[in-house]
Structure 1
Amino acid sequence: MLHSEFYLFEEEKPLRCTVRNYQENDFQELIAIQSECFPPPFPDELWWNVEQLSSHLIHFPEGAICVEVNGELAGSLTCLRISYDPAHPHHTWEEITDNGYISTHDENGNALYVVDISIRPKFRKLGLGKLLMQNAYYVVIELGLDRLLGGGRMPGYKKYAENLSPEEYLKHALSGKLKDPVITFLLRCARTPVTILPHYLEDEESLNHAVLMEWKNPFK
């Protein structure tokens, strides 16, 4: 199981940081983090619930990762293994994750799939999202998988939808003409776009679109 302790810096102040696998006694804080990260109009029924979090620990505890800062739970990343065929990339979040319960986890799958990543707003300047993503890459390497995948929301898209298709919006993000809070973050984490996923998730800000983005195992 994962457990790593080190220090991060907020300006000149060192902060003790721990990356580990989350456990049952973390559930209420994990749900609270979701409520802070995805306020309305994001539907609250899409926040984690205790049954989903319990299912994560049953099906793939190695993919249930969290980070603490000075003893306070600051964020989490959840993933599962899937069998991925690059010739058929399209899917929805609900079908690939069993609506967040990850009973679709395939212990023989060739790819790691990110179900969710959430960082408490007050900790976002510390680079914890990128840190959690790096730990997910370590899981890919340790298990000898081909790649990491995940659908990235496009929360900035609604403002541009009258003038840009989702594909055009992505091209603008890739060229630096605009910054999307999620897509640009994933690019900074070394993820690369594969395709647009329409009807990926009920998400008003993204008009239900997402970008499938991958990180390929450099040792494969």
Structure 2
Amino acid sequence: MSYYKKMYLYKDNRNMEVVIRNYDENDIPQLIEVQKASFPPPFPSDLWWNEEQLRNHISLFPDGALCVEVGGMIVGSMTGLCVDFDDKHIQHTWEEVTDNGYIRNHNPNGNALYVVDICVHPGFRKMDLGRWLMQSMYEVVVQLDLDRLIGGGRLPGYHKVADKITAEEYVDALMKGKYNDPVTSFLLRCGRTPVGVIADYLEDEESVNYAALMEWRNPFKVTNKK
């Protein structure tokens, strides 16, 4: 399956051509530069994509390797793999579920698309490109007839209140609108809903190593409509 979507979005007092498509090996240098700009310190630099990881994404699961271009320049990406997800066992680490970003554990017969990463260059975030990437990956879920999209969302605002409330209480407060978190609040606006909280998900000082496990259910496969 090949993915290609073209649209026009507003930036700098004009409409600009935006393309969302599968990335390939020619895009690797740009993808790495976008990672560096999107995740500055204190985010660990060893978690930025390397060439081998990106080549694996392209060869093992090209359907889950999307990038977004503005004016012909790559400014964001989103990557996933297929897993066989079990609601009864939600505790895991990012490294375990993504094979440390190499996705050699991609399961073509899995029931869910797991988000490995999403990033948008800071200079282009007001264009809502993250939401468009997420919407595009929802379309991949539907096309592949998977049950859901799922993945861990960082909690970069949690360190500010970690001495007062638990991570579970923080996510509950986000749901009620008491706090606004750069990542999890964005995922809520994209239509994803919390499944639970994962401890020691990722070495992430801002999130105190926690993540909110967030899902989007394929609306064509939802059996409980209450």
User: Smaller-chain TM-score range?
Assistant: over 0.9
**Matched residue, 1:167:** 168
Per-residue deviation, 1:193: 0.2
Q: Partner of 2:143: helix, strand, or coil?
A: helix
**Matched residue, 2:203:** 202
Distance 2:13 2:122 in 1: 20
**Matched residue, 2:153:** 152
Which segment is superposed worse, 84-93 or 192-201?
A: 84-93
**Per-residue displacement from partner, 1:14-62 (whole Å, max 9, x unpaired)?**
1001110011111111111111111111110000000100111111011
Report % sequence identity. 55
Distance 1:65 1:20 in 2: 5
Distance 1:171 1:11 in 2: 37
Which segment is superposed worse, 23-32 or 93-102?
A: 23-32
Residue identity matched to 1:91: H
Per-residue deviation, 1:149: 0.1
Gaps of 5+ in 2: 222-226
Residue identity matched to 2:24: Q
**Matched residue, 2:104:** 103
Per-residue deviation, 1:12: 4.4
Residue pairs, 1:75-94, within 5 angstroms: 75-94=76-95
**Matched residue, 1:17:** 18
**Matched residue, 2:224:** none
Q: Give every structure 1 segment of 4 or more consecutive aligned residues whose post-TM-superposition deviation is greater than 6 Å.
A: none
TM-score by length of 1: 0.98
Q: Partner of 2:141: helix, strand, or coil?
A: helix
Residue identity matched to 2:190: C
Per-residue deviation, 1:10: 2.2
**Matched residue, 2:184:** 183
TM-score by length of 2: 0.96
Distance 1:34 1:12 in 2: 27
Distance 1:68 1:58 in 2: 21
Q: Partner of 1:108: helix, strand, or coil?
A: coil
Gaps of 5+ in 1: none
Distance 1:180 1:88 in 2: 26
**Matched residue, 1:54:** 55
Matched, 1:215 2:210: no
Distance 1:56 1:4 in 2: 20
Distance 2:206 2:33 in 1: 21
Residue identity matched to 1:156: G
